[in-house]
Amino acid sequence: MGLFSFTQEIAMDLGTANTVIIHNDKIVVDQPSVVALDRRTDKVIAVGEKARQMHGKTHENIRTIRPLRDGVIADFYAAELMIRGMIKMVGGQSKLFPPALKMVICIPSGSTEVELRAVRDSAEHAGGRDVYMIYEPMAAAIGIGIDVEVPEGNMIVDIGGGTTEIAVISLGGIVSNKSIRIAGDDLNADIMEYMGRVHNVRVGERTAELIKINVGAALTDLIDAPEDYVVHAPNRMTALPTEIPVSYQEIAHSLEKSISKMEAAILSALEQTPPELYADVVRRGIFLTGGGALLRGLDKRFTDKFNIKFHIAEDPLHAVARGTGIALKNVDKFSFLMR
């Protein structure tokens, strides 16, 4: 690299809920995947946390968009503006010569050709010159310190905001995988529906997320149970304010259907796993990553259900981003990166 090097290298975990950027081995951006635009001019008003604070509280001249739905880009224009805004946050860019970017971006393992194209186009429009892509479960495995190139089976369950990625990895490739569009966002939707149906109150995405963080659980019987969380919301019939304490048992009931679907997907991935790798998985256990891994009691529920030990990764929220960062440093070495 010469003195006048205009290539910046960044690794990006472009998530439905959060986008994380790694630059020089450090997490430099960790922001919600939201962008706020002016309706009249389509100019960017805010990106990330500032835009999320506006979400659900805007007037007619501002619209907030979550450009990714179910792990894939649903709004090209907004996605490009959001990626640009996030890259600006990395800083160190001269106005005169915007640096050419070498990027590694991770994508859901169930992405179609069209969806891959969408990510690549958005990244290139935002300044990416060399764009590589890596599948999320692969990035998660690398991020938690697994050597993915050895002939051993490792199973990863990555529960993000838009997709749950389940994959068995061996010899630098994905042997069996299942990508389902049931993840954090669906758990929030379940909570919103439950609060409306049982308590007759209206809650938004933001409140549902807070309920999930404070009293979300996968089991109705926890050893260190969280205290009830008090929700302030309008009654659906009278529109008067109501105060409702919500217990973790209630939330565990409301999430039952979605978690059962995750269990079915894990079972399906295990069924497709060759016997030799299956033996490795049983011996080593299954690794849980992504924000969903933080749901109370989920590891215990899965362990009891499948009779295989489930381990929650250290810092599960950033496992995928970290793995993407390691892939960026080993672009020439890792054969599984896609151009």
Taking the CA atoms of residue 295, residue 298, residue 299 and residue 301 in that order, the dihedral angle to the nearest 10 degrees is: 170
Q: Three-state SS for 75?
A: coil
Q: Does residue 338 fall inside a structural domain? A: no
For the segment 103-132, what is each residue's pLDDT rounded down to a tens digit?
999 988 888 888 888 888 888 888 888 899
Q: Does residue 222 fall inside a structural domain? A: yes
Mode of pairing for the β-strands spanning 229-234 and 173-180: unpaired
Q: Each residue's pLDDT tens digit in the chain (339 positions)?
A: 444 455 788 899 988 889 999 988 888 999 999 999 999 998 999 999 999 998 888 888 999 999 988 888 888 889 889 988 888 888 755 554 466 688 999 988 888 888 888 888 888 888 888 899 999 999 999 999 999 999 999 999 999 988 999 999 999 899 998 999 999 999 999 999 999 999 999 999 889 999 999 999 999 999 989 999 999 999 999 999 999 999 999 999 999 999 999 999 999 999 999 999 999 999 999 999 999 999 999 999 999 999 999 999 989 999 999 999 999 998 888 878 887
Distance CA(183)–CA(185), nearest Å, equals: 6
Residue 107 and residue 42 share a domain: yes
Residue 275 and residue 197 share a domain: no
Measured CA to CA in angstroms, residue 102 lies from 1, 133, 258, 303 at distances of 13, 11, 38, 40
Residue 132 and residue 275 share a domain: no
251 close to 137: Cβ distance less than 8 angstroms:
no
Residue 162 and residue 126 share a domain: no
Number of compact structural domains in the chain: 3
For the segment 227-265, what is each residue's pLDDT rounded down to a tens digit?
999 999 999 999 999 999 999 999 999 999 999 999 999
Residue 99 and residue 222 share a domain: no
Distance CA(202)–CA(190), nearest Å, equals: 13
- Domain housing 30: 7-139+321-329
Distance CA(4)–CA(94), nearest Å, equals: 12
For 178, the token pair is 């299942």
Ramachandran quadrant class, 258 (left: phi over 0; alpha: psi -120 to 50; beta: rest): alpha
Residue 305 and residue 290 share a domain: yes
Residue 17 and residue 104 share a domain: yes
User: Which DSSP letter does residue 335 get?
Assistant: T
* Verdict on whether the full-model pTM lies above 0.85: yes
For 219, the token pair is 């089991």
Q: State the Cα angle at 265 between 171 and 305, rounded to 5°.
A: 100
For 224, the token pair is 């260190």
Of 230, 254, 278, the residue at which a domain comes to its end is 254
Distance CA(244)–CA(110), nearest Å, equals: 39
Q: Does residue 337 fall inside a structural domain? A: no
Residue 325 and residue 288 share a domain: no
Instruction: Go through 14-41 and write b for each residue having 16 or more CB atoms within 10 A of its CB, e for each that does not.
Output: bbbbbbbbbbeeeebbbbbbbbbbeeee
- We report the CATH number of the domain holding residue 170 as 3.30.420.40
Q: Does residue 336 fall inside a structural domain? A: no
Q: Does residue 335 fall inside a structural domain? A: no
What is the pLDDT, as a whole number, of residue 3? 42
Measured CA to CA in angstroms, residue 186 lies from 64, 203, 255, 331 at distances of 20, 14, 9, 34
Distance CA(165)–CA(179), nearest Å, equals: 5
Q: Does residue 37 fall inside a structural domain? A: yes
- We report the CATH number of the domain holding residue 250 as 3.90.640.10
